[in-house]
Amino acid sequence: MNKYEFTFYSECPSDGDIILYTVEIESNEVIMAEELTDYTKKFSKGYQEAIADDLFKKFKGKQTIQAIHQGVKITTVRK
């Protein structure tokens, strides 16, 4: 099992806040770091749940995405 942990920023479509997302992907596949960082560039704006769905379609495995928005910690899990 491989574990990939990384962060990226995305703008919230509702209020324009810039959100820091923390992502953990557990996978039996090898994922290149550059593939992760390049892919997340497409999320310049988006909702966490939609971003989680998109990342899961692309990279599979078990994924946990966390962010704090307006003081609320949100955790989204896909597996």
Which one-letter DSSP state was computed for residue 54? H
Note the pLDDT of residue 47: 97
Note the pLDDT of residue 70: 94
Closest CA to 12 of 66, 53, 63, 69: 69
Range of the domain at 7: 2-78
Note the pLDDT of residue 5: 98
Note the pLDDT of residue 33: 97
Torsion, Cα 50 53 57 58, to 10 degrees, reads: 60
pLDDT tens-digit readout, 26-77: 999 999 999 999 999 999 999 999 999 999 999 999 999 999 999 999 999 9
Q: How many domains does the chain have?
A: 1
Containing 33, the helix (H) or strand (E) segment is helix 33-40
pLDDT tier at 2 (50, 70, 90 boundaries)?
very high
| Structure tokens that stand for 74 in this block | 């949100």
For the domain that residue 25 is a member of, what is the CATH number?
A: 3.30.1130.10
